[in-house]
Amino acid sequence: MTLASFDKKFKQSLPIWIILMLFVGFGFGLWSPHAAKSLKSWIFPLSFTMIYMMCIPLRIEAILDVFKRPRELLIALGMSLIFAPLFMWPLGYVFLRNESIIFAGIILASLVPPGGLTAFWAGIMDADVSLALMVEMFALILSIIWIPFGMKLLGGTMVTIKFMFLVEKILILIIAPIILGYLTRLLIVKYKGERGFMEWKPVFSIISGLAALMIVFIALAMKAPAILKHPLIIVMPAVVALLYYSITFIFTGWASIKVLKIKYEKAVPIVYATGTKNLSIAMALAIIAFGPQAILGIIGCSIFQMPIASLYYKRMLKYKPVET
């Protein structure tokens, strides 16, 4: 089996692997909670690796070209930062209005910018990775102002945001992988040629996918004891998350392709920038602003975000143009 064929099969079976990792991670977290907590330090390097591997095939010219077509960038930012919280608010109000702290946490989960998984999904679906990266970067910058304003508007309270926290995320998880990916591409092309680079291209996608699976495993392993200890208190946030992600993906996909007539390669980053948020930022801000109980409002999101994104992956591929 060639690397290209293995990469293709790996992408096709990715939703199954993600769901499997959810169960394996949950079981591991219950079996060895201490060991699961020790894995926390791996989330950051795995996130970096996941994005870095997706940036290697990226042409820097393609990123700059996004500015020539700002329509899709503006639509993606509007969908991710404005429409997503508006979808979450009525669901949170109906199911969690008597649990104000949990309600605040789940609203925060919808307000945070998209995470690195936007570029990951764009990469494995042969869509516009450059647009995905630009959405992530601009959303992070805008979030400095938008998250406190959004929480005041939708949650009725103000959240203090540490400026350098978001700047660090931008530099390390987006800007640095772009630069290193570009330099890596130049080195490979220099010593192996363009043809040799294309032969290595599936490796980057596979490594990025494996890093994403490990992130899912660690996230569920770390949350397993809390989920088992408070099964009832996470039921309502879980219901809200399930409804929210289902509505968000279906509506965003339909609106992007059917209503706005956006091409497949541009629609994928828009859909996944709206549906996959940086929940690690949400958890950090939730603890700072509201205390540990607010995390229960984000646990449901962390459980359903990747599985529903994986399931919608199959649906989104139906819009992919047939290669001739």
Q: Where are the domains of the chain?
A: 3-316
Task: Specify whether the CB–CB gap between 178 and 133 falls below 8 A.
Answer: yes
- 51-to-63, 72, 82, 99, 220 alpha-carbon distances in Å: 15, 21, 25, 36, 20
State what percent of residues in the chain have pLDDT above 90: 13
Residues 197-207 have a mean pLDDT of: 84
Token representation of residue 105: 């946490």
Residue 28 pLDDT more than 90? yes
Residue 156 pLDDT more than 70? no
State what percent of residues in the chain have pLDDT above 70: 85
Task: Specify whether the CB–CB gap between 22 and 305 falls below 8 A.
Answer: no
pTM of the model: 0.71
Helices 117-124, 176-229: inter-axial angle, 10-degree rounding: 110
Cα–Cα dist 73/67, whole Å: 8
> Could you say which DSSP state residue 112 is in?
S
Helices 14-31, 296-317: inter-axial angle, 10-degree rounding: 160
Of 36-50, 162-176, 196-210, 287-301, the range with the lowest mean pLDDT is 162-176
Cα–Cα dist 101/293, whole Å: 7
Which residues are CB-contacts of 238 (< 8 A; sequence separation ≥ 6)? 299, 300, 303, 304
Residues 283-298 have a mean pLDDT of: 72
Closest CA to 180 of 42, 53, 64, 62: 53
pLDDT at 160: 53
- 88-to-79, 101, 245, 248 alpha-carbon distances in Å: 12, 15, 9, 9
- 18-to-51, 192, 205, 270 alpha-carbon distances in Å: 17, 34, 15, 22
Higher pLDDT, 109 or 167: 109
Backbone angles phi, psi at 130, to 5 degrees: -60, -40
Residues 209-214 have a mean pLDDT of: 84
Q: Which CATH class is domain 3-316?
A: mainly alpha
Residue carrying the six token digits 């990025």: 208
pLDDT at 274: 92
> Could you say which DSSP state residue 97 is in?
T
pLDDT interval class at 82 (50, 70, 90): very high
pLDDT at 324: 47
Residue 292 pLDDT more than 70? no
Residue 102 pLDDT more than 70? yes
Token representation of residue 19: 């769901």
Token representation of residue 201: 């291209």
Most confident of 5-19, 170-184, 209-223, 255-269: 255-269
Higher pLDDT, 318 or 118: 118
Residue 304 pLDDT more than 60? yes
Token representation of residue 101: 């702290």
- Rounded to 10 degrees, the C-alpha dihedral 176/199/311/277 comes to 0
- 260-to-28, 95, 254, 264, 276 alpha-carbon distances in Å: 44, 32, 9, 11, 21
Residues 34-59 have a mean pLDDT of: 82
Residue 126 pLDDT more than 50? yes
Residue 207 pLDDT more than 50? yes
Residue 161 pLDDT more than 80? no
Question: For all residues of the chain together, what is the average pLDDT?
Answer: 80
pLDDT interval class at 47 (50, 70, 90): confident
Cα–Cα dist 219/43, whole Å: 8
pLDDT at 85: 93
